[in-house]
Every structure is written in C-alpha cells, then in structure tokens.
Amino acid sequence: MPNKHNADRRHHIPRCRYKVTNRLAYEAGLRQRGSLTIWFSEEAVAVWQAAPRTTPGGQARYSDLAIETSLILRTVFHQPLRQTEGLVSSLLELMGLDLPVPDHSTLSRRSRTLTVAPQALSPGGPVHLLVDSTGVKLSGPGEWLVEKHGTQRRRAWRKLHLGVDANTGTIVASTLTSKDVDDAAELGPLLDQIEEPLAAVVADGAYDQDRVYEDVAEHSAEAAVIVPPRSTAVLSPSAVTDPTQRDRHIQAIAEQGRMGWQRTSGYNARAGAEIAAP
C-alpha cells in the first residue's frame, strides 16, 4: 500500500455524497437546459439596418448590432461563416421578419473592425471580489526558432492578476506584471480599477499580508478580508481586547479546523477566480 508509513499524518477527507431530494424539479431543470428560445426585440429590428451615413464613403447595409448578433450565433453554435449566414436566414424566416441577412463575406470583413461594447452590469450592491493570479506564457518568433533549429532558451512568462465579481463571474479588474511581482503587491492596483464599494475580498494564502488588509480598508472600510492565515500565524498583541480580522480567522481555524473555517467564512467561493482565469 503506497504511503502506508505516513497514513497517520495524511488527511482523511470523506468522499462527498449527494442525494437528490427534489427529483421532479431537478429533472425539469435538466430538460430546460436543452430548450432553445430565440427572439428579436422590436428595438433590435428597428436598428438592424445601418443608419444613413453622414460622412464621405460607401453606405453600410447592416448595423453593428446585426453583425454582432450573427457572430454571437456563430460562436454559440460553432458554425463556419457560410453556415452562420444560413442560420440567421432561417431564424428570420421562421419569425416572419423581412430583414436582410449579412453574407459570409460581410461577416468576415466587419468582424475585423467590429467594436463590441462592454456588457453593462446592473448595480447589485457591494462587490464580492475574488482575487487570484495566473501565469501567461509569452510567444513570438523566438519559439519558431527553437522549433526549427532545436536551440534551447529560457521560457519567458508574465503574471496576470485578476479580480472577479463573485456574483456575476465577470472580470472587473486586471493587471499584467513580470513573474517576479508579489501577488499581494498588485491588490492595490486592482482595487483602484473598482469604483463600487466592496463587501468582501477573497484570496488565497499568498495574500496573507498586512498591506492586503490595509489596501482593502482604504478602499472600503467595512469590507471583509477572507484570506487563510499561514500555518505558523499567531495572534496580534491586541487580540484579546481588539481582535483584527486576521485574529478572528486564526481563532476560528483553531476552533473549527481549516476545512470548517472555509465553509463558514465563504472562502470556498474563491474557486470562481480560478474558473475565470485563462
């Protein structure tokens, strides 16, 4: 048996078991995943064709909305441009809409210069921010030389720091630095990109530093900082009379264990940042 000599020091985490208690609603939800509903609003129909041009040059036939809608359908259904043209044509015919269909050549040409406006997020109160970083490999002509000539060289990469809204899964802040930059040092620049107040900042143990708590408090004084203290962490001198957030984390881990603290503190939501990272 592998690692049998270390069995007493290994973590024994029971396997999770899930039991469906709302089977009818669960099955209805699974069927709903396959439902296909597509409609064109009256506003979209009204601006499907491009507005008259007031500057010199040829008149565009299709608005940016028409091109963007066609390209979104192409992405969703994984279709080439010609099949996308047929898909849009069939949808307009099924709905009885007398609108021109962008041909595949127009879609290819307009996609190069199309500017997609960022999605507007409705205000939903303070932001629950998930923070993490990931490595980004640099590529270029150097890799072609390595593959062609077989030479060896050091691989260059940078670090991408991300701030993700836990409620929407949207990346709301990002910075790109060299690989030597500390994760905690980039929290301040990330917070500078967020205008909304913060409800909580969730990050891994690499952010267990005093300046992280200071940066969050400077941005939103009432925001919670959910960062696991390192295993050698000790309470501050004022923990008895005036405990800090970090002191309360240390005390909760001592009472509940690290796994219990993760469930009660909301730290498990940090996985959302890893999903958003490329």
Give the per-residue SS3 of 89-105: HHHHHHCCCCCCCCCHH
Give me the pLDDT at residue 137, please.
Answer: 72
Is 131 contained in some domain?
yes
Residue 247 lies in a domain: yes
Within a domain: residue 104? yes
**Which of the listed residues 50, 82, 111 is the one where a domain comes to its end?**
111
| pLDDT score at 71 | 93
Residue 49, domain member (yes or no): yes
* pLDDT given for residue 148 in this prediction: 66
pLDDT by 10s per residue, the chain, length 278: 555 666 665 566 666 676 777 888 888 888 887 887 888 889 989 999 988 888 888 888 999 999 999 999 999 889 999 999 999 999 999 989 999 999 999 999 999 888 876 555 555 678 889 998 888 776 555 556 666 666 555 556 788 999 988 888 888 889 988 888 888 999 999 999 998 899 999 998 889 999 999 999 999 989 999 999 988 888 988 888 999 999 999 999 999 888 889 888 888 877 655 555 55
Instruction: Read off the pTM.
Output: 0.56
Q: Do 145 and 223 lie in a common domain? A: yes
Question: 172 and 96, same structural domain?
Answer: no
pLDDT value for 201: 93
Owning domain of residue 188: 127-276
pLDDT at 157: 76
Is 104 in the same domain as 132?
A: no
What is the pLDDT at residue 15?
A: 67
Task: Give residue 97's pLDDT.
Answer: 92
- What's the pLDDT at 138? 65
Q: Domains in the chain: how many in total?
A: 2
